[in-house]
Amino acid sequence: MFLKKIGYRLIQFIFILIGIDVVLFFFIPQQWVYQSMSSTLDKPVKVDVIIALFYGVGENYYLNHESLRRVDYACTLFKEGYAPNIMFSGGGRSSHNLYGSKWLSNVAQELGLSPDQIYLETKSNDSISNWEESYKIIKKHQWQSVLIVSSLFHLKRVRHLINPHGINVYYTPVPFDNCNPPLTNFGYWSSAHYNLGSYVLYCLLPSSTYRTIINKLRH
C-alpha cells in the first residue's frame, strides 16, 4: 500500500512537470522567455577575443543549424569590431580525424573572414574542456578578456561549469529573433531540455564518471 502511494505520487509529480513544460514552451511567448533569461547574461562588449563553441553536425556531415547560428553571430560581432581576434572551439573527435572547430572556421571564411584572423582549438569534446583548452591559447597570447558565443541555454549552463582563471569572461547568447538560420520551436525546446539534462547529469555524477562517459560518447 505504501509503495502504491509513492508510485501514485511519482506519477502525479511527472504529470505536473509535463504540464509546466507544456505551459512554458507552448503557451508563454518564447521570445519573452528568451529575452527574460538573456537579461542575466551579457550584452556584447569589446574584448580581446570572441570564442564560438561548436555544437554538432546534421545531415551529410555538415554543421547543424545550432552550430551555424553560433558561427554566424560570432562573425557578425567580429565584423562589428567587438574583438580583433576570433576563436572556434570544440568538436574534437581525433579517432575519426574530425574537428568541429575547423568546420566552424570554414563557414567563417565563407562569411568573409581571413584564415589569419582565426584561431582554432581542436582538442576539446565538451563544454568544460572547450574552455580549459581554449584557455591555453588565451594564456599563450596574454589575452585578458573573452566573449563566449553560444545558445542561451548552453551559456546558462556553461557559466556554472568553468573556472575563468582570472580572465574577464562575458557570455553572450545568439539572439532569439535575429539569427541565421532562424531558431525553430523544436530547436528552442530541444536546446533547453538537452542543457538541463546535461547539467543535472553533471551535478549527480562524480567528475571522473562524467568525464569517462563523455570520452566514450565522443571519442
pLDDT tens-digit profile of 90-105? 987 766 677 889 999 9
Percent of the chain with pLDDT over 90: 54
Place of cell 570520452: 215
pLDDT digits (tens, 9 = 90+) for 153-168: 999 999 999 999 999 9
Q: What is the pLDDT of residue 98?
A: 77
Average pLDDT over all residues of the chain: 86
Percent of the chain with pLDDT over 70: 84
Q: What is the pLDDT of residue 61?
A: 66
**Which of 213, 37, 38 is closest to 126 using CA atoms?**
213
Q: What is the pLDDT of residue 3?
A: 47
When pLDDT is averaged across residues 65-82 and rounded to a whole number, the result is 97
Q: Tell me the pLDDT band of 2, cut-offs 50, 70 and 90.
A: very low
Spatial contact of 166 and 63, defined as CB atoms under 8 Å apart: no
CA 15, distance to chain mean position in Å, is: 29
- Residue 202 CB partners (closer than 8 Å, separation 6+): 161, 210
Spatial contact of 71 and 36, defined as CB atoms under 8 Å apart: no
Query: What superfamily in CATH does domain 42-217 come from?
Result: HUPs (3.40.50.620)
Most confident of 13-17, 75-79, 210-214: 75-79
**Which of 15, 90, 81, 22 is closest to 51 using CA atoms?**
90
Q: What is the pLDDT of residue 121?
A: 96
Ordered by start, the domain boundaries in the chain are: 2-35, 42-217
Q: Is 202 exposed, middle or buried (0-12, 13-18, 19+ CB in 10 A)?
A: middle
